[in-house]
Structure 1
Amino acid sequence: MDDQNKNLILACVLSFVVIIVWAVFFPPPEQPVPSETDQTVEQGVQTPVAEAPTGADQPASVGDQATAAASDANIERIEIDTPELSGSISLLGGRIDQLALKGYRETIDPDSDIVRLLSPVNSNDPYYALYGWAPLSGVEPDAVPGPNTVWTQVSDNPLTISTPVVLQWDNGQGLTFQRQISIDDKFMFSIDQSVTNTSDSAVSLAPYGIIARHGEPDTIGFFILHEGVVRMTDGTFDRIKYNDMPDIEFNARERAQADVAQVEENGWIAFTGKNWMTAMIPPQGDRFKSVAKYDPVREIYQLETVLPSQTIEAGAQTTVTTRLFAGAKEWEAIRSYQNDGGIPSFIDSIDWGWFFFLTKPIFWMLHELNLLIGNMGWAIIGLTLIIKALLFPLAYRSYVSMAKMKELQPEMEKLKESAGEDRQKLQKGMIELYKTHNVNPAAGCLPILLQIPIFFSLYKVIFVTIELRHAPWFGWIRDLSAPDPSSILNLFGLFPWDTPDPTSIFFIFSLGILPIILGVSMWLQQKLNPAPTDATQAMIFAWMPWVFMFMLGTFASGLIIYWIANNLITFIQQYLIMRSQGVKPDIFGNIKSSFKKRPKPDAK
């Protein structure tokens, strides 16, 4: 077995093993099915039992405000209507608890429901944001607005990008609370909370924000994807998965299972999934407390931000402004909030993974190409051309080395005959031969090995970025983030029967058109070289394209498009470089010989 074939088999087997491990441990995710039950989840919200930031003039703790939330079935609502969002705000607690994303649907069917992000407490899966004031001194707990306070709308208008809404509540004891909610043209709310003190004594209050989810959230449960809490604390990034929150240690000062972080200057905290996120962003530059909390009794997942206490003197007023992001994790929008809105590291709410140094530039290039071309499928092919161009110097040296190896084949055969069974003599002779002709037998492995992290990085980009979700290419490929929907089992739609469900193990046999083209492209690339004379090598090479075809058949269409384009470009590059080195690949002869009967691997 010559070293050239050894190296090529080693690289292919390594790639194959990685693909198998990936497929076993990272199977295609099951698509979540929206619940259709009418079960009402227990109402209520865990309000903060929070510690105020430590300070000379600040108390150590804020009192308990836990109360039973009333049903908001008969409470008035304020409509939310923007280019991106629709929903409403309940006057019960001033909760932002109905929100849907106009630009996104549950499936590629244009008549399917738009994506629902937030839901009220009387729905199947309550998920909402609310704000309030925790009493510190000079005021009783029932004299501040909480989760069950019924607010009054000051102006009778919906919430739009040009018309904020103003809520008001008077405690009848000299304190008037007002909340102005505004929104931009994307997904960012601004909440201005103010208190006017007309009493004859000072009061101290701590403003807080809450995002609460009742019941265990629906998750994809994919190993490479983070779903749960993501938090930035003074430059430190922290993640807690939903299924890890019940294991948070009991915090005696919080009187709950709580993970507490004191933010000194900059930070934010969010619930995040694959495509959607809700995040609280307190004023940057100020201290606040960031809490991820789990209530095992009511099974409530909760985030809290508690700002420093505010002392409002008699006859004075104070206002605190915070922000709430609730929407799609669009790269451009999130980057704008980070760069122009002053939210540090907000772009990292997108799960770029371990290969972030590759996934970030790969996505940036895809995004720019998509803006230029107007189609993500062609952008992927354009990205492939750019990657191949960047790797061309290395590929050139590799293919030149492989061509020289071909030229040395007769001399290597003579060397094998003269060495006989003396393996040491054969190895020494081959090393001298390589050195004399300046050939590196390992050069053929490098381009293949470099493709592995690029392949995984592109897989990550296609999976986690919302820009690839439901992105069409042409014809039957209407979602580049999903597998090829065509199937050889029904002859690509000519027969009326259904194909196996993507979650079924039999789905691997439901090959689409793209995976078949992938297998053919790999097979064609092999035919640049004659089949190995060794029967074992020949068998491995013969099966390799078709095994890869089945293994990659369930991957996202965008990834298959990349691999096909990569194979075709590699074929052209290798063919031209081999011709430039005086080696004329007999492609048709190699194809013809591949159909001849071969001896079994164990034949003598």
Structure 2
Amino acid sequence: MDDQNKNLIIATALSFVVILVWFVLFPPPEPDTPLDATSTELTPQGDTLAPPTATPPAGTPATTQAADAAPAAIETAPRVAIETDLLTGSISLLGGRIDELFLKDYRESLEDDAPIVEVLAPVGQPDAQYALHGWAAASGVAADAVPGPNTEWTLSSGETLGVDSPITLSWDNGAGLLFSKEISVDDAYMFTIIQTVKNTGEAAASIAPYSILARHGEPTDLKNFFILHEGVVAMADGEYSETNWDDMPEFAFNQRAGARTEENNITENGWIGFTDHYWMSVLIPTQGSPFKSVAKYDERRDIYQTEAVMPVQTVAAGETITAQTQFFAGAKEWEVLRQYEDQGVYNFIDAIDWGWFAFLTKPIFWLLHQFNILIGNMGIAIIALTLFIKALLFPLAYKSYVSMAKMKELQPKMEKLKEQAGDDRQKMQQGMMELYKKEKVNPAAGCLPILLQIPIFFSLYKVIFVTIELRHAPFFGPFQDLSAPDPTSIFNLYGLLPFASPEPGTIMALIFIGILPLLLGISMWLQQKLNPAPTDPTQQMIFAWMPWVFMFMLGSFASGLVVYWIANNTITFTQQYLIMRSQGYKPDLLGNITSSFKRKKTGEKAEAKK
């Protein structure tokens, strides 16, 4: 390429270099080396073991089968209702499992009669997912001496689980051990489970408290989009890790567990669970205490499972021991997660998929969140965020736009140089360098603001796509969900008629685009007219088509992102236009530019000669 003024192309290339260098210098953390899980010997000195489950098929290990129960048994088992301002559901007394939970504040779609979102479902239903909390038998304790996933508990206190109204479940093993667990829930999405074991017998017993989160099959509504993580999320002593659903079947097979597993010893702080686009279920042992974190896949029954297994405890005759854990099941709301982090859940805000550029996505979301609180409209908050970012970059933009104005004025001279040089590239380059030196123009001065804007754009795209605060967030008129594509098209007279637009991603949707993509193409075309055009005809054609190509490409993107880009282009055009005029240049929308400053200076010289 023989033109030095290809700001967009240069900036894009440099941005990818920056990203590549960043990945090399700061690669994503490698997962911890799995523990040696072949030994079944356990002692009470801090060892842990995986919990027992229902009787496995013949010929398979009975130690760590996935927590399961027959759907018929689940359907007939007694239940205890869950009812708060945000949650509704129930707990099955079969295993004491929390396996039915709905979010009252969220619906599946924008329709008023749409069903509310379900995050936990019993065995036998689509997307079955549930949590179990119990005790595992250690050395010298029979497996049936502790409650299992199919143990039927008794409701000993409470009627309905709600805020400030906990329930207590109890079970007597008939051999001197009395088990109970108190389950409480706060005013958001956090359950607290306090398990107690009282030894009324004569012999000591060694047991280990555990928590299990199991899910049957992959979610049916997987997005499978590269920018979004879905699957296991875990925090291990400050190291955050993610494992996709399709990576779990690749775990090494653990003979003792009878499943494919990945295990890590956590010394102080951590949690583990499952996440999808907007909802999450996470097991949270007592922070500051050690536990074993396990991610597991049972390929025979297509069951995914995460576990938190605490150290073995010994309850002597006449003594009582307790273990407390927490269980989060709900929406990944920034304010809620931040509140739990402040209450001691280590780095819980990282459960939101900020990506590898969290140093940008986190502050960008914080600013967007604050603007939304102040304004009360997420679309206007995005525009306000754009204004703030443009103001922050204005000192760099000022120099860039002045340089662009000078470059644009030099276009006729550059065209003349090209005609004189013909096919001689070296002569062309030398002539252009001399022209830049003579006119004191830096052709690369316009690259830096664009280079800075690209990672900001990517980060904002990440924020708009992954955060639940944009889900079903209204703007105005037909734009009632900024996380969804533009719903307008010629089919519904751009929102005037109550008809749906073509399905996003289809050929019809690409052809009959909405209002926002049209405004994007126009704003990008206007902005481009103020920039110096390449001298090469091929490059000129590429740049001429670029606004319209982007218009169709971004037609299926989230409306919030397109709003940002329109606002950014409009503000950039206005800034560039005003700065050019302040420097004596008079641009027009057809790409022509004159310099009143130079004309004035030329006139003064002519007058002096007279």
TM-score (normalizing by structure 1): 0.86
Q: What does residue 201 of structure 2 align with?
A: 199
Instruction: Report how far residue 157 of structure 1 moved.
Output: 2.2
- d(CA) in 2 for partners of 1:61 and 1:537? 65
CA deviation digits over 1:362-404, x for unaligned, max 9?
1111011111111110110001001111111111111111222
Q: What does residue 599 of structure 1 align with?
A: none
Q: What does residue 319 of structure 1 align with?
A: 322
1:302 equivalenced with 2:305 (yes/no) = yes
Q: What does residue 336 of structure 2 align with?
A: 333
What 5-or-longer segments of structure 1 have no aligned partner?
19-48, 592-604
SS at match of 2:585: coil
Q: What does residue 74 of structure 2 align with?
A: 72
Answer yes or no: is the 8 Å Cα contact 1:106–1:115 preserved in 2: yes
CA deviation digits over 1:18-65, x for unaligned, max 9?
9xxxxxxxxxxxxxxxxxxxxxxxxxxxxxx99899767356756844
Q: What does residue 506 of structure 2 align with?
A: 504
Amino acid at match of 1:253: R
Name which of structure 1's ranges 370-379 and 52-61 shifts more when overlaid on structure 2.
52-61
Q: What does residue 117 of structure 2 align with?
A: 115
1:221 equivalenced with 2:224 (yes/no) = yes
Answer yes or no: is the 8 Å Cα contact 1:52–1:289 preserved in 2: no
Q: What does residue 429 of structure 2 align with?
A: 427
SS at match of 2:157: coil
Answer yes or no: is the 8 Å Cα contact 2:530–2:591 preserved in 1: no
Q: What does residue 246 of structure 1 align with?
A: 249
Name which of structure 1's ranges 80-89 and 58-67 shifts more when overlaid on structure 2.
58-67
1:231 equivalenced with 2:234 (yes/no) = yes
CA deviation digits over 1:481-508, x for unaligned, max 9?
0000001245325678754322424321
Change (3 A) 1:377 1:286: same
CA deviation digits over 1:199-219, x for unaligned, max 9?
112111111111111123221
- d(CA) in 2 for partners of 1:198 and 1:504? 68
Matches within 5 A, 1:187-586: 187-218=189-220, 219-338=222-341, 340-409=342-411, 412=414, 422-492=424-494, 499-528=501-530, 535-586=537-588
Q: What does residue 7 of structure 1 align with?
A: 6
Answer yes or no: is the 8 Å Cα contact 2:408–2:531 preserved in 1: no
- d(CA) in 1 for partners of 2:78 and 2:159? 13
Instruction: Report how far residue 141 of structure 1 moved.
Output: 1.8
Change (3 A) 1:173 1:325: same
Change (3 A) 1:56 1:194: closer
SS at match of 1:297: coil
The count of aligned residue pairs is 559
Answer yes or no: is the 8 Å Cα contact 2:263–2:294 preserved in 1: yes
SS at match of 1:108: coil
Amino acid at match of 1:367: H
Name which of structure 1's ranges 123-132 and 448-457 shifts more when overlaid on structure 2.
448-457
- d(CA) in 1 for partners of 2:495 and 2:589? 33
Q: What does residue 33 of structure 2 align with?
A: none
Amino acid at match of 2:484: A
Name which of structure 1's ranges 97-106 and 519-528 shifts more when overlaid on structure 2.
519-528
Change (3 A) 1:125 1:79: same
- d(CA) in 2 for partners of 1:63 and 1:467? 37
Instruction: Report how far residue 266 of structure 1 moved.
Output: 1.3
Answer yes or no: is the 8 Å Cα contact 1:52–1:206 preserved in 2: no
SS at match of 2:161: coil
- d(CA) in 2 for partners of 1:248 and 1:459? 32
Amino acid at match of 1:244: D
Answer yes or no: is the 8 Å Cα contact 2:233–2:243 preserved in 1: yes
Query: What RMSD, in angstroms, separates the aligned Cα atoms of the two structures?
Result: 2.8
- d(CA) in 1 for partners of 2:262 and 2:12? 45
- d(CA) in 1 for partners of 2:38 and 2:151? 20
Identity %: 62
1:57 equivalenced with 2:45 (yes/no) = yes
Answer yes or no: is the 8 Å Cα contact 2:48–2:311 preserved in 1: no
SS at match of 1:566: helix
- d(CA) in 2 for partners of 1:345 and 1:577? 45
Q: What does residue 600 of structure 1 align with?
A: none
- d(CA) in 1 for partners of 2:44 and 2:270? 23
Change (3 A) 1:502 1:95: same
What 5-or-longer segments of structure 2 have no aligned partner?
18-36, 56-67, 594-610
Change (3 A) 1:95 1:64: closer
Instruction: Report how far residue 354 of structure 1 moved.
Output: 2.3
